[in-house]
Amino acid sequence: MTPVTLLQQAFQQTIYPVSGHGKRNIQVLKEVLNHCEDELDSDNYGSGPLIEDFQNDMARFFGKESAVFFPSGTMAQQIALRIWCDAQGIKKVAYHPLSHLEIHEEGGLKELHQIEAILLTDQDKLIRLEDVVQLKEDIACLLLELPQREIGGQLPAYEELVAISAYCREKGIKLHLDGARLLEVLPYYQKTAAEICELFDSVYMSFYKGIGGIAGAILAGGEAFTKESKVWKRRHGGDLISLYPYILSAAYYFKQRQFKMGQYYEEAIELAALYNDCPAVETLPVVPVTNMFHVHIGLPKAKLEALLVAMYEATGVGLTAYLKEVSETSCAFEVWIGDRYGQVPKKELAHAFEWLKTALRAV
């Protein structure tokens, strides 16, 4: 069994956890099902109104011809890249060095699809047009992740996206959007999802990040592309007889949170400012461009852990359940804003950050 750390324990006992939507317990699914009729028929291996209607809604939302529901983004994105590689007759794609495909998928793209990935730019930077122009090898597809999660959810300027898209179209390079957090970028760009997706040949979005569903993802693109993706979904073992627990929760929480991303974004800016006001603390980016950012604190892990546990106990406010050791003298963690932030009384939050500031000064 996975051991629970002291920090996790302390975080779980706080009255005011600050990050995310809430606990991932089965109440999240019960609430969805309680809003559905008992007699609602399951989807059936990718067919039936329950899945087809939702896919059609999502295709319209993205401004694409069609869309396919997948159990996971890992599966959806490998398949998207495989289809583009097969279409182009090139077994190479390019993406960021900290792409989900590179660091979280056990090399599935290589092991299952024999696709080689060219890593663009330094891992702490965003991909720029010049990185794409300077590519010396032919690639079938470029994958862009918006926002770039592993560097705090940074975003390129919209004009840069347009330029990359135009360049790829000119060169015949397919452009795929890792839009795991697609809704979360719309307030910054002040664009609709369809306006962003128009720049891409294919798009994936996750349903359990900002949307807060149980699991699952959607892949959208042209009719021929999505049709082929269904064949690969079957091959991967993702064409389940019933995906409805994920589909129903995706639809339910999408509707509930679709228009809350602007609020989360503003709250992220507010919270990041509180962090940046503390000694030895810096957020990445300093001013968030979505509902997420990373917090870097210049303290050794064990020391910071003890400090945070004490803070949670003293203030009832919980900042994070884990710490990533960056070096012997610094740690980092991810913050993303969901429903919880709005439930924390401003007074309690201010008090907690005063506590943190004082404690950090005393270190």
Binding site residues, a second copy, CB under 8 A: 1-2, 23-30, 33, 36-42, 44, 47-49, 52, 70-76, 78, 105-108, 111-113, 208, 214-215, 231-232, 234-246, 248
CB 257 → a second copy: shortest distance, Å? 17
Taking the least distance from each CB to a second copy, the nearer of 95 and 208 is: 208
Rounded-to-integer distance, Cα 324 and Cα 338, Å: 21
Query: What is the C-alpha to C-alpha distance for residues 154 and 161, in angstroms, rounded to an integer?
Result: 13
| Nearer residue to a second copy within complex by CB, 42 or 121 | 42
**Rg, C-alpha atoms of the chain:** 21
Measured from the CB atom, the residue of 34 and 190 that comes closer to a second copy is 34
Closest CB 111 distance from a second copy, rounded Å: 6
| Cα 39–Cα 238–Cα 21 angle in degrees, nearest 5 | 70
Coil vs helix vs strand at 282: strand
Q: How far is the CB of 270 from a second copy (least distance, A)?
A: 28
* Closer by beta carbon to a second copy, 240 or else 273: 240
Least distance in angstroms from the C-beta of 81 to a second copy: 12
User: Helix axis angle, 261-276 relative to 346-362, nearest 10°?
Assistant: 30
Q: Which of these, 310, 316, 281, lies nearest to 296 by C-alpha position?
A: 281
Q: Which residues contact 247 (CB under 8 A, 6 or more apart)?
A: 43, 50, 51, 54, 69, 216
> Which residue, 127 or 247, has its beta carbon nearer to a second copy?
247
Closest CB to a second copy among residues 33, 119: 33
Task: Name the burial class of residue 190, with classes exposed (0-12), middle (13-18) and buried (19+) by CB atoms within 10 angstroms of its CB.
Answer: exposed
Please report how close the Cβ of residue 68 comes to a second copy at its closest, in angstroms. 13
Give the nearest distance from C-beta 266 to a second copy in angstroms: 27
Q: What letter would DSSP give residue 219?
A: E
Planar angle of CA 217, 73, 246, nearest 5 degrees: 35
